[in-house]
Amino acid sequence: MEMTIPVLILAIPLFMFLFLGLLGMKMSHKLAGTLGTLGMGTILVLSYYTAFQYFFSGAPEFINAAGERLQYLVFDQTWLQFTEKLVIKVGFFLDPISAMMLVVITTISFMVHLYSMGYMRDHHGVYEHGFQRFYAFLSLFSFSMLGLVVAPNIFQTYIFWELVGASSYLLIGFYYTKPSAVSASKKAFIVTRFADLGFLIGILVLSYYGGTFNFAELTSAPVEGLAGVSQVSLGTAEGIKAMFTNSAAPVFMGASVLTWALVLIFMGCMGKSAMMPLHIWLPDAMEGPTPVSALIHAATMVVAGVYLVARLFPLYLMETAALDIITVVGALTAFYAAMVACVQVDIKRVLAFSTISQIAFMMVSLGVARPEFHEGLGYMASMFHLFTHAMFKALLFLGAGALIHAIGSNDYTAMHGLRKYMPITHWTFLIGCLAIAGIIPFSGFFSKDEILSSCLGYSWVAYLWMSLVAGMTAFYMFRLYYLIFWWKEHETPEGHHAPHDQPWTMSLPLIFLAAVSCVAGFIPFGELVSWNGHPYDFMAHFDWSVAAVSLCVAVAAIVLATVMYRKENPLPSKMRNALPALWTWCYHRFYWDELYMFITHSIIFRSVCRPLAWFDRHIIDGTMDAFATVTNKVSEAIKPLQSGQIQMYVWYYLIGALALGVVTILCLL
Amino acid sequence: MFSNILIYFVIIPLLMLAGTGLCRGVRGIRAVAVTGSIALIALSVYLLVDYIGLRAAGDSAPMLYTDSWMWFEPLNIHLAVGVDGISIAMLLLSSIILFTGSFASWNIPQPKEFFLWLILLSTGVFGFFISIDLFTMFMFYEVALIPMYLLIGVWGSGRKNYSAMKLTLMLMGGSAFLMLGLIGIYYHSAPAGHELTWNLLEIAAYDAVPHGWQSFLFPMTFVGFGVLGAMFPFHTWSPDGHASAPTAVSMLHAGVLMKLGGYGCFRVAIYLMPWAAQELAWIFLILTGTSVVYGAFCACVKTDLKYINAYSSVSHCGLVLFAILMLNTTAMTGAIMQMLSHGLMTALFFALIGMIYGRTHTREITQMGGMMQILPYLSVCYVIAGFASLGLPGLSGFVAEMTIFVGSFQAGMADYLGGEGSLRLVFTIIACCSIVITAVYILRVVGKLLLGPVYDDHHRSLTDATWWERLSTATLIIAVAAIGCFPNFFSNLIKTTFTPEIFTVLGM
Amino acid sequence: MEITAVYYLIPALIMFCCGVYGFITRKNMIAMLISLELMLNAVDINFVVFNRFLYPEQMEGMFFTLFAIAIAAAETALAIAIIINIFRAAKNIDVRSLNEMKF
Amino acid sequence: MESVGSIILYFIVALSMIVFSVMAVTTRKILRAATYLLFTLFGTAVVYFMLDYEFLGAVQIAVYAGGIVVLFVFAILLTSRPGDNTERLTSKSRMLGGVAAVITLIVACYSLVSRCALAFAQKPEMETPDMQQIGATLMGTGAGQYLLPFEAVSVLLLACIIGGVVVARKR
Amino acid sequence: MDYSQFLAMKQEIALLVVFLLVFLYDTFMPKSTQKALPAFSIILMLLATAAGFCSHCLGSDTTVVAFAGMYETSAVIAAIKGILNIGVVIVLLQSIKWANGESMLMRRGEFYELLLVTLFGMYLMISARHFLVFIIGLESASLPLAAMVALDKNRYESHEAAVKYILTAVFSSAVFMMGLSFVYGLTGSLYFENIYFALTNQLNMLLVIAIAFVISGIGFKLSLVPFHLWTADVYQGAPTSVTSYLSVISKGAAAFAFLVILAQVFGPVYSKVWEWMLYALIILTITVGNLFAIRQRNMKRFLAFSSVSQAGYIMLGVIAMNAMGMAAMMYYILVYIFSNLAAFGVIGAIENATGKVSMDDYRGLYKTNPRLSVAMMLAMFSLAGIPPFAGFFSKFFIFTGAINQGSVAIYVLVLIALINTIISLYYYLLVVKAMFISEEECVIGWFRSSFSERLGLWITVGGILLLGLVSCVYSSLLNLAEVSPMNMYFMS
């Protein structure tokens, strides 16, 4: 494969960022938007081409005779050399998941670019302030995200990981005059930064023992005869494990060092993918423009954590303890987020918690994946779900964006009964809901079903738990759906136009994504993506009993939602009154934010920073000043020596001379 | 004497001094300053290119362009010059910051005196970086320190008298220890039968300082330079000093002068006394490791922009010293890169703070807000500087910090696995934590100062950057980005310093 | 009974200490000067005694005393001139009034 | 072994020297102090005679007793006004002076006496230096001869004369 | 009797000739020509200096011992005398305006005569190898000074200072001579050489007390703490020219004489007795001098305490007991002469023009008198030891010289001294701050100082700038020191 296209995939968005960032203000809004979109379109085409090449060209560097998909290193440039072995390179790495991610990212990104052309202007067609900047940041994000997924080494991942964090910061804080947006962006950045600390230390540990940053060397074995081509191999991971075990300190605080490294790396993933307890930034991140939420906080960036775990999956397989931790964290998060999503009022928050929950699904899926069971079905399921989720969640977000754009509020109480006014939005949103609820034949059904299957293979507790969460997902999504589009007749406030559907730039992405959500389930994903590249016939492992059960659960949940929310009725408030404590806790998201507020503000800020600053000013600086003060004081104190009386002078003189003599005598003789 | 290129790093500033002294009008003075600093930049770039060429051609001497002229014959004091990659990087840094600093003080009152002192200061800086003779090094070091007093005292703001005095006294206090250390080194510089020498390279080659003396002289020199490197607990001059200093002085001081500390620690303390550096590193590791997080925590609660940045400098410079003490190539490379990076970005910070202060007449972030709407150019620059400071990839901070962390971790693990205690490891991890805290205080400032609604409506009438301000900040941003995007170039440049000779000297 | 050196040295030392005492306690400058004379005189005795008792073969101590007397005379003369001078300016010669300059 | 007469003479002289010096520094009347000083100086001269330094004794009487004391008396008469020829000493200054004097005395005496060979040396026989010898020593340049100090002290005396004149001159 | 021995005393004789000529000029020349007396004496001094240098350059750089060991001169001694001469010339230059003033009309000639005699006394102190000569030198160097201090008849402080000076000086010399009498008792000689050999096996209480008394006597001249208490009062009261003379020349001579006595007389008991005494004295001197200097507002008094602490630094060259220390000390004295005279030059110029000597009056001086302020600042920086001014080099070399002694204690001592430089920097910077940083209106208006004052300042500023950077000064001093006969007495 030639280098040109991969280079372009990375270069074009970077160029667009610099171009729009430096010169955007000089050009018209429309031009900037169009250029940005065109640029993204180009990348879309190139990425599709690349992915197509990878999956379907059958070239020897991509697939071997046995039909196994290989990893291919397109290029690898030294960027910064630490030591002989530890070198950060910037490269382009193709394997099933990165090719898949290329498709996901460019698709959603392009849709969002297009959509924003309509979204980022008001009803009179006036573009928002900073429109060019918006496109510049979108380009920056696309660049970073693409760089992240094609990274051939973990340090490049980390670099772009940070960059997506920064672009996320910039985009969440896009409405920088709004204090809430500012604080939300800050929160997002700092929480993920904290998680990245773990990631960084994890990298340090891993690279120290592994002696490399390269994924290929960490998890894969080179393929004979083809430069830059390798294949996922447990053997290599075994080798890494052996390096850890053979070293002098294989155990640290009760767990093996490899486990520590992997858990620390997972900590980074938790931050990025909003796993509990580092999830708190994601709901707040909804302060950003909705297309941003769709792109970054639903489809792409937040799944980077999942992606990274998948990247290092063979290593994780070496330490199942780490995988168990992932499973537990994922399961708890999934349940928690679903609980919270059931009672939220702000539609974007519902979607945000739904995102958390769904990502947790993917995590769980990775956590339960074992080669022993269905040849690592969970891995494939996770990636599949990542794919489908990206599509339908982006769809839902963009739909929500359309609603917000039409209504001017995030609150469903201002919506209700919009189905007649905004038919396109309604139908696409419904498709999204069906997909996420896991109704056959929409895409979510397939991916979720496989996740549940793999859970079953892990333990029945996990299976039941995740099925419950799946049911809750269906419930809250349809609660949302009904509350937006049904419940009661829409009341347009005085002096407002009745809400209506949006221009084509916004509708087109909705329709496209809805269409994808309808059919994506039928993609033979197992053929394309599996943990070791081995093609995987997923229909062969399709567990119809699991599917039936989950379908039943979903339908039941939908029915429940229909009963409760289709028409205005007192049932919801009754339920709420029945369990007031639970409702309050859920509504306040189990007070996580308050806890964090307490920790950061009262403990770190008040009890660490302030005392330290005080300590610095008064004790440390005080000591330094004290040298001066004491000197001055002493100077003042010995002033009487110079009394002006010569008789005192000679007295001191004589006593001094005698003391000199006597002390010397006493000391020396 | 004039055939050596390095000597021009002192001659040009001296010519600038003369030129400034002779000029009458402010235009002339500006012209001298700008011309001179451009000449210095050109010279350092030429030196850089030539140096790389020589290294590529296989010249593996520890220092190139070495030359030595006898000065005080009976004491064997020479005017000895020589550079390696580190010095070249520092020279480049200094000339860039002098250049931008000249622009940042475009409209300073009493320009003649100001530039005289400023250039005198940079004479000291350049002299320090080219010297390889301990005596001349020390002399230039002190030359660079004392103009600070008048620069802050006359052109400063706030509690300038107090700050100027404190800064000068504390730094001179450090140099008092340093002087003792240097003289001590001199008297143990050569084995019996050889002539005592002040020459760094010769001392390092002899490696004759007895261990007992090393454990006395190492702390002396390390603390001596460490004070200037804002090592905890001797950093307190830094917040006050920077807060009171005029813009260009803050830039030069934080950007270049504080680097003298780190450079000196490396070049003198560690290079000449490797044994003590290994044995006594733990004390200073604790101090510097503490100062990394400590400075960051303190910065979190400050509301004066310059104080915040000063504490941030404490944290970042702490990282420099911290990394130097790791005694491994990677960490040391990282330390030097951090010096470069911190020099540039902190200069950028101080330039911006000065520009904002010049407009709003306050540095309290509680008194400002929404600057992004009023001063978009400066605000964007500030955000970039902030990102550089918190270590965003693509800007200089990231590469430096990562190099340090990787290197330190290697050293820490080597210690840990080698059964030599886990101090390095623990403090590496503590130092890593600074990346989070840095993010906290940087974003806090960005949030309060630049974003959000406009705090004071009087600020709405402010005008954005003038051309010289744009030039000054843009230069720095380009430099920051250049290091951030092409780190390997700088890393390799610095690594050329770690010739095999140093490895044997340091026992690395 | 033998009159040894110490028989002369102790009175000389006592004389010296009287001078010290007088110098420190007297207020009148001339009285202080008188005390100083006592001290110088004591020194002279010391030299002479050492010379006579220990080193009779040479005359260094004696000559030192001789010159010391001359020096003492010179400094007394000068000191008295200065004291008279200050008497003119301040109309008294109380040493405690010399406190214009202190601290 | 000394003669009884000389021992008695010694005690008279020593006692009077001590007594008069104590009185010189304790008397309230300044003129009396000068007089006691004179007695002390005479005592000293007698000591010089007893130690066989007749020339020195003569110089002592001539210069010290004759010159300096007269100078003192003139100065006292010039500077004292009726009524203030007595002075009162504060107890503080007495204490300080006493402490200094006593410490000096103790330290000096103890260290002197501790050096036995020096303190308890017996008076050896010595020829009284005659005038010729003294003159030659004063004018010679060899070892133990004092031409240089002699010349130097003349410069000093000249300078003191100039200084005295310039200080004492009214304008 | 060999009177040709006087020929060994070339510099002293040249000085006496100058003295005589000045005396004759003053006495016999008509009133109208008296105004030229200062210039006349300066020229004569210059000639004498040149003669002194020449006589040593022209072949006789070997050591000469005259008067059977009472007097010694060598290249080093000639050099230190030459250094003092240079200082005197500058002092004379700076004092011209004052000496030609109204109040000095009757005393102008006496000022020069007395000054020359004191200088003669200092020469004797330096060259003396016999305690009688030394005492005479000491008295010649201090008694006429008392008269000089009293020269300013219109100021009461001047009289007060003179009384304080003469009474304490005589007291000190009495104590000194008491110490000497003990030394004589112990060794039986007043010749340095004899004492040196007699002391080789001696160590007793009497000797310690004697050494303490001797040190106190010279410490008085050098104003070492606690023998320094007269310093501030006398410096403040004396006419500025006399103060500057006292602070540099008298101190420089005493320092060198001190070294001579300690090395050539008490050398054998160096490490046993007086090394520790000097440690204590140096620490006390530097610290107490600094502590007092901090609070001073009167410039002369301020410089008095500054000179007290400088004396402590000078002593570092003595304690080293080696050629490097000696050279460093001489170099330090030279640089100190230039730096302090620059400071006194400015103070004198301002005092002559406006009568102001308070540091508070100096506030904002830079705006009214920039050149004087810069000269003052350079002086302060040099005194504080800031490069590239000469003071830095002298401090550095004196520390280097001291550490050459090699014991651990000396490192501690130097460290204490170095820490004290920070305090001293503080108060020197106070002056700089007053002149440059204070934003108040200066009470001292612009004035043009006289030619001689400016010339003096130019010379001193030139010295401050060049003495350090031009390495041959120190190098040649060190070369001289290394071949000097005193090396025999230094501990190897």
User: What is the mean pLDDT of each successive set of 10 residues along chain D, which is 171 residues long?
Assistant: 83 93 90 92 93 91 89 88 64 89 92 84 84 88 88 92 87 63
**Chains with ≥3 Cβ pairs under 8 A against E?**
A, B, C, D
Minimum-distance CB partner of D142 among E68, E113, E186: E68
Chain E interface disruption, residue of A631, A641, A645, A649, most E CBs within 10 A: A649
Helix H, strand E, coil C: the string for A183-208 is HHHHHHHHHHHHHHHHHHHHHHHHHH
Contact B78, B69 (CB under 8 A): yes
User: Which chain D residue has the Cα nearest residue A652?
Assistant: D100
The pLDDT, as a whole number, for residue A413 is 74
Lowest mean pLDDT among A232-246, B265-279, E38-52, E249-263: A232-246
Chain E interface disruption, residue of A664, A666, A667, A669, most E CBs within 10 A: A664
Residue B4 CA, distance from chain mean position:
25
Q: Residue D51 belongs to a domain with what CATH number?
A: 1.20.120.1200
Continuous segment of H or E residues that includes residue E214? helix E205-222
- Domain holding B442, by residue range, is 5-506
| Min distance D94 CA to chain C CA atoms (Å) | 6
The pLDDT, as a whole number, for residue A520 is 82
Retrieve residue A289's tokens.
């423009």
Phi/psi for E298 (5° steps) reads: -80, 125
The pLDDT, as a whole number, for residue E428 is 94
The pLDDT, as a whole number, for residue E290 is 94
CB–CB of E414 and B180 under 8 A? Answer: yes
In this predicted structure, the answer to whether residue A317 has a pLDDT above a threshold of 90 is no
User: Which chain D residue has the Cα nearest residue C17?
Assistant: D101
Chain D residues lying within 8 Å of C5, measured CB to CB: 118-121, 123
Retrieve residue E71's tokens.
């007097």
E163 CB within 8 Å of a chain C CB: yes
**Chains with ≥3 Cβ pairs under 8 A against B?**
A, E
E69 CB within 8 Å of a chain D CB: yes
Token match 């005193």: residue?
E486
> Within this chain, do residues D69 and D149 fall inside the same structural domain, yes or no?
no
Which of B320, B377, B163 shows the shortest CA–CA distance to B249?
Answer: B163
Chain A interface disruption, residue of B389, B451, B477, B488, most A CBs within 10 A: B451
Continuous segment of H or E residues that includes residue A294? helix A290-294
> Within this chain, do residues D3 and D71 fall inside the same structural domain, yes or no?
yes
Lowest mean pLDDT among A72-86, B395-409, E48-62: E48-62
The pLDDT, as a whole number, for residue A660 is 92
Average pLDDT over residues E135-144: 94
Intra-chain end-to-end CA distance of chain B, in Å? 36
In this predicted structure, the answer to whether residue E91 has a pLDDT above a threshold of 90 is yes
Which of E147, E199, E141 shows the shortest CA–CA distance to E173?
Answer: E141
Domain edges within chain C: 27-92
CB–CB of C100 and A644 under 8 A? Answer: yes
Average pLDDT over residues A205-224: 82
pLDDT over 90 percentage in chain A: 8
Lowest mean pLDDT among A518-522, C13-17, D157-161, E239-243: A518-522
Q: How far apart are CA A255 and CA D159, in angstroms?
A: 95
Across the beta sheet with A229-232, what order do the strands follow? A87-94, A71-81, A229-232, A220-222
> Within this chain, do residues D76 and D116 fall inside the same structural domain, yes or no?
no
Report the mean per-residue pLDDT for chain A.
85
In this predicted structure, the answer to whether residue E492 has a pLDDT above a threshold of 70 is no
User: Which chain A residue has the Cα nearest residue E214?
Assistant: A657
Average pLDDT over residues A268-283: 87
| Min distance B237 CA to chain E CA atoms (Å) | 14
> Within this chain, do residues D84 and D110 fall inside the same structural domain, yes or no?
no
CA-based R_g, chain B, Å: 22
- Domain holding D101, by residue range, is 92-120
> Within this chain, do residues D44 and D101 fall inside the same structural domain, yes or no?
no
In this predicted structure, the answer to whether residue A500 has a pLDDT above a threshold of 80 is no
User: Which chain B residue has the Cα nearest residue E477?
Assistant: B74
Q: Residue E52: pLDDT band by 50, 70, 90 thresholds?
A: confident
> Within this chain, do residues D79 and D1 fall inside the same structural domain, yes or no?
yes
Q: How far apart are CA B295 and CA A502, in angstroms?
A: 52
Pairing type for strands A251-252 and E71-73 reads unpaired
- Residues 6 or more apart from A309 whose CB is under 8 A from it? A266, A269, A316, A326, A363, A366
Contact pairs from chain D to chain E, CB under 8 Å:
105
In this predicted model, which residue has the larger pLDDT, E224 or A488?
E224
Contact E350, E448 (CB under 8 A): no
Chain A interface disruption, residue of E172, E227, E274, most A CBs within 10 A: E227
> Within this chain, do residues D1 and D67 fall inside the same structural domain, yes or no?
yes
Q: How far apart are CA E124 and CA E256, in angstroms?
A: 11
CA torsion through residues D58, D63, D64, D69, sign: positive
Chain B residues lying within 8 Å of A189, measured CB to CB: 439, 443
In this predicted structure, the answer to whether residue E253 has a pLDDT above a threshold of 80 is yes
In this predicted structure, the answer to whether residue A543 has a pLDDT above a threshold of 80 is no
CB–CB of E162 and D149 under 8 A? Answer: no
> Within this chain, do residues D1 and D80 fall inside the same structural domain, yes or no?
yes
Minimum-distance CB partner of C17 among D79, D105, D168: D105
Mean pLDDT for each consecutive 10-residue tract of chain B (508 residues)?
Answer: 86 93 89 92 93 86 88 89 90 92 88 91 93 92 90 89 92 92 91 89 87 90 91 88 89 89 90 87 90 89 89 91 88 90 92 89 86 88 91 89 90 83 87 89 88 84 87 91 89 78 62
Contact pairs from chain C to chain E, CB under 8 Å:
120
In this predicted structure, the answer to whether residue A123 has a pLDDT above a threshold of 80 is no
Q: How far apart are CA D140 and CA E121, in angstroms?
A: 21
User: Which chain A residue has the Cα nearest residue B447?
Assistant: A182
pLDDT per residue over E349-362, tens digit each?
A: 999 888 889 999 99
Which of E335, E319, E321 shows the shortest CA–CA distance to E412?
Answer: E319
Retrieve residue D74's tokens.
């003139």
Instruction: Provide the whole-model pTM.
Output: 0.92
CB–CB of A651 and C24 under 8 A? Answer: yes
| Domain count along chain D | 3
Q: How far apart are CA B114 and CA B130, in angstroms?
A: 24
CB–CB of A646 and E227 under 8 A? Answer: no
Token match 């000063």: residue?
B310
> Within this chain, do residues D144 and D69 fall inside the same structural domain, yes or no?
no
Tell me the residues of D at the E interface, defined by beta carbons under 8 Å apart: 107-108, 110-112, 114-115, 118, 139-149, 152-153, 155-156, 158-160, 162-167, 169, 171
Pairing type for strands B64-72 and A255-256 reads unpaired
Average pLDDT over residues E332-336: 95
Chain B residues lying within 8 Å of A613, measured CB to CB: 297-298, 300-302
| Min distance E226 CA to chain D CA atoms (Å) | 15
Tell me the residues of C at the A interface, defined by beta carbons under 8 Å apart: 20, 23-25, 32, 95-96, 98-103
Burial of B358 (0-12, 13-18, 19+ CB in 10 A): middle
| Domain count along chain B | 1
Minimum-distance CB partner of D163 among E71, E114, E208: E114
The complex's ipTM?
A: 0.94
The pLDDT, as a whole number, for residue A562 is 85
Residue E420 CA, distance from chain mean position:
21
Interface of E with A in 378-417 (CB under 8 A): none
Contact D45, D53 (CB under 8 A): no
Chain D residues lying within 8 Å of A657, measured CB to CB: none
**Chains with ≥3 Cβ pairs under 8 A against A?**
B, C, D, E
pLDDT over 90 percentage in chain E: 65
Contact pairs from chain A to chain D, CB under 8 Å:
17
In this predicted structure, the answer to whether residue E148 has a pLDDT above a threshold of 60 is yes
User: Which chain D residue has the Cα nearest residue E136?
Assistant: D153
Q: How far apart are CA A580 and CA A572, in angstroms?
A: 12
Minimum-distance CB partner of E418 among B72, B139, B179: B179
CA distances from E18 to A396, B185, E73, E94, E119 (A): 109, 49, 20, 19, 11
Written as one letter, the residue type at A327 is T
CA distances from E454 to A164, B20, D95, E96, E379 (A): 69, 24, 53, 11, 14
